[in-house]
Amino acid sequence: MKKIKYLIALVLALSLLTTSVAAAIPGDLDGDDAITVSDALKALRIAAQLDPYDAAADVNSNGSVDVFDALQLLRCAMGFLTPDGLAGDFELTVPITEAALATGLEQFMVDRGMTSLGDPSRFVRVMRKAQAGEPITVGFIGGSVTYGGAATTQYSRWARVVEAWWKKTFPQTQINYVNAGQSGTPSLFGVHRVEDDLLKYEPDFVVIEFGVNDELQDWQRDAYASLTRRIITSPSQPATLLFFVMNEGGTNAQADQIPIGNFYDLPMISYCDAVWPSVIGYNHTGGKFNWKDICADWVHPTDAGHAMCGELINCYLEAVYQNLDKLSSECKPVREDTPVPYYYQNTKWYNYRNTTPVSMGGFVRYLTNGSSWQANGNGADPLILRCYGSRIIMPIQQSESDTVKATVTIDGGDPIWLDKDHLLISSGRYAYYFLYDSETPAWHTVELTLLEGVVSCGGLFVSWQD
């Protein structure tokens, strides 16, 4: 009888111990001493009233279990939060601003457009820096929409609208502006020029916009992922926001780009999601916006469209600014793993500005349509370039890519035809030909020979990994 009582007491003690251990980690719903995706799913089921209430899932201690609790648990499971930070001192919301209302945006559009509020800590840090009167640099990289295509003045461009928010909010602070938008270029181009065009200025805040110049292809996704990582891990550690505009028809590449932003817990804003549903019904169901009023052609916003783009981003910035005293500026380290292979860890664009060819051959420097090296006519001597890396891509003026007959040799090897078999992507200004790939970076000699027609070479995109 004494043995039975002893066993019962032991079981009760162990159960109390187990309970106390589980309770020591808020959100550990299955008692395994860790916050996992399973805990987040359990909390989501409770929030949907599919499972009974469990106080351990109420990580913000507001007396109920909702989607915020499940999201916090998921962020913890993915390493974006520690268990101590689960409760969250503050849940950021994004109200519409008066300036955004003036563009025709409404609160429900802003809500639709906030793809992810992400981790605002870097934004808090740079805003506190600006509050202290220290100079800051705001940077933008993308295609022609970022550059400001179809805007009637430079200050009508959406990037300038965002710059204006920083200047108005911090009038005592010097705000430096860098627009690295370049028309007709995808993120594959962007990742090869990001150092020279953006990062050398040590930006504090960056918006990345390649939603319409990228396509839903693995090569584009990989380049976009590398570009994003290059920016967020650069020495200035800028607050970085992903922005998605749209083509006519409401299409873009955000389906490939959103998972990258989620991986790094970056704020993401979709102009497409915010505005497109209010465009499609204009002629039939009373939608608010006529495409012709907000877009000058198939993709480039009018001044009204640029204003909406900029003010949509400014809604997020204003929400962070209004809550600086409630948000943490303690930035978590960037994850060491990557969502896709980090092919473009190191890059260089060998071009007419930074490269003297070994031989110009029959080519001349051509300053129109991308400032390329061009040959016109048969039998021209080859253009010879030297480059260092392990992966080589050659951009050729797209308007010529269907008719040109030309070959490339690498280090005296067999000729590589510039044809569809070697075409990586064709986007905007250039067609991009994939010429060489190896595991070890080295110096290479590249010879471009024109056999027939006209060819304009934009240089070489070269990359390698550490």
CA distance 431 to 400: 9
Please tell me the predicted confidence (pLDDT) of residue 3: 42
Asked whether 250 and 280 are in contact (CB, 8 A), the reply is yes
Burial 100-109 (b: 16+ CB within 10 A, else e): beebbbeeeb
Residue 454 pLDDT: 87
More confident residue, 16 or 159: 159
Lowest pLDDT segment from 10-19, 137-146, 154-163, 246-255: 10-19
Bigger pLDDT: 438 vs 62:
438
Please report which confidence band the pLDDT of residue 452 belongs to, taking 50, 70 and 90 as the band edges.
Answer: confident
Distance CA 365, CA 232 (A): 35
Contacts of 98 (CB under 8 A, 6+ apart): none
What are the tens digits of pLDDT across the range 303-348?
999 999 999 999 999 999 999 989 999 999 999 999 999 999 999 9
pLDDT of residue 85: 55
Highest mean pLDDT among 144-158, 354-368, 447-461: 144-158
pLDDT at 80: 54
Question: pTM for the full model?
Answer: 0.81
195 has pLDDT over 80:
yes
86-100, 105-119, 211-225, 438-452: segment of lowest average pLDDT = 86-100
- Nearest-Å Rg of the Cα atoms of the chain is 27
**For the chain, what percentages of helix, strand and coil (3-state, to nearest 5) are there?**
35, 25, 40
Lowest mean pLDDT among 94-103, 157-166, 189-198, 451-460: 451-460
Read off the pLDDT of each residue in 183-197 and give the average, rounded to a whole number: 96
Domains of the chain: 21-85 (1.10.1330.10), 98-322 (3.40.50.1110), 346-464 (2.60.120.260)
**Cβ 148 vs Cβ 306: under 8 Å:** yes
What pLDDT shows up at residue 284? 54
| Range of weakest confidence among 17-21, 62-66, 387-391, 419-423 | 17-21
Percentage of residues in the chain having pLDDT higher than 70: 88
Please give the residue that has the higher pLDDT: either 242 or 452: 242
- Lowest-pLDDT choice from 161-165, 226-230, 324-328: 324-328
Between 110-114, 161-165, 225-229, 288-292, the lowest mean confidence (pLDDT) is in 288-292
CA atoms of 70 and 38, how far apart (whole Å):
10
Q: How many CB atoms lie within 10 A of CB 460?
A: 25
- pLDDT value for 117: 97
Cα gap 381→149, rounded to integer Å:
38
How many Å apart are CA 332 and CA 74, to the nearest integer?
16
Q: What integer is the mean pLDDT of 110-123?
A: 97
Predicted confidence (pLDDT) at residue 1 exceeds the cutoff of 60: no
Residue 245 and residue 109: Cα distance in Å, rounded? 14
CA distances from 105 to 96, 118, 152, 206, 322 (A): 8, 22, 21, 23, 20
119 residue type, one letter: D
pLDDT in tens, 247-297: 999 999 999 999 999 999 999 999 999 999 999 866 555 679 999 999 999
Count the neighbouring beta carbons within 10 Å of the beta carbon of residue 199: 21
pLDDT at residue 356 is higher than 90 = yes
In which band, very low, low, confident or very high, does the pLDDT at 91 lie, cut at 50, 70 and 90?
confident
Q: Return mean pLDDT, the chain.
A: 89
Q: Please say if the pLDDT value at position 92 is more than 90.
A: yes
Helix 218-232 × helix 254-264 angle, to 10°: 30
What pLDDT is attached to residue 23?
39
**30 pLDDT exceeds 90?**
no
CA distance 311 to 107: 12
- Mean pLDDT of all residues in 375-388: 88
Would you state the pLDDT for residue 17?
A: 35
